[in-house]
């Protein structure tokens, strides 16, 4: 069961992180908690299953990346985990995930890469390809960034 303080915490963490070296300390002060109390409660919410995950959204254009591409890879299913871990470590990759191939689409691993232009994205993918020894991949470029929002459950009162 969540209490009034948990609801305040949820209302705060569902928004943007403060641009601060200690964003959780800033959020904790908003509701008169210490940073450690705040973090302990967030961990408890996760452990209880109230919160499944905590993530951040990269607004790549605001971060200076003018081009991004989803790189779809055809990876041997026995190597999907190790390949995903390797590709996910590239600093140009914001996320990496596995999906089951479909009837007309044999790609099963996806990485979002960000670069200064299309050519930079191609170079990044080529470098990644050499590291994992996979030549069967395709780049799908984003043409437009739509508004990114998160679900809101409680509002800070």
Angle (CA) 13 14 16, round 5° = 80
Instruction: Report pTM.
Output: 0.60
Give per-residue pLDDT as tens, 88-123: 999 999 889 999 999 999 999 999 998 889 999 999
Residue 78 DSSP symbol: G
Task: Say how far apart CA 58 and CA 79 lie, in whole Å.
Answer: 28
pLDDT(134) > 60: yes
Task: Say how far apart CA 65 and CA 92 lie, in whole Å.
Answer: 10
For 67-141, give the CATH class. Answer: alpha beta
């Amino acid at each position: 069961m969540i209490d009034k303080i948990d609801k305040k915490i949820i209302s705060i963490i569902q928004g943007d992180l403060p641009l601060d070296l200690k964003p959780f300390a800033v959020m904790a002060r908003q509701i008169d908690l210490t940073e450690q109390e705040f973090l302990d409660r967030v961990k408890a919410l996760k452990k209880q299953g109230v919160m499944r995950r905590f993530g951040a959204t990269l607004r790549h254009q605001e971060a200076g990346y003018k081009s991004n591409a989803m790189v779809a890879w055809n990876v041997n299913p026995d190597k999907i985990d190790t390949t995903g871990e390797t590709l996910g470590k590239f600093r140009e990759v914001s996320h990496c995930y596995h999906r089951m191939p479909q009837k007309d689409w044999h790609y099963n691993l996806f990485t979002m890469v960000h670069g200064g232009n299309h050519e930079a994205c191609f170079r990044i993918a080529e470098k990644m390809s050499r590291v994992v020894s996979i030549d069967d991949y395709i780049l799908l470029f984003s043409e437009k960034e739509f508004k990114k929002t998160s679900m809101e459950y409680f509002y800070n009162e």
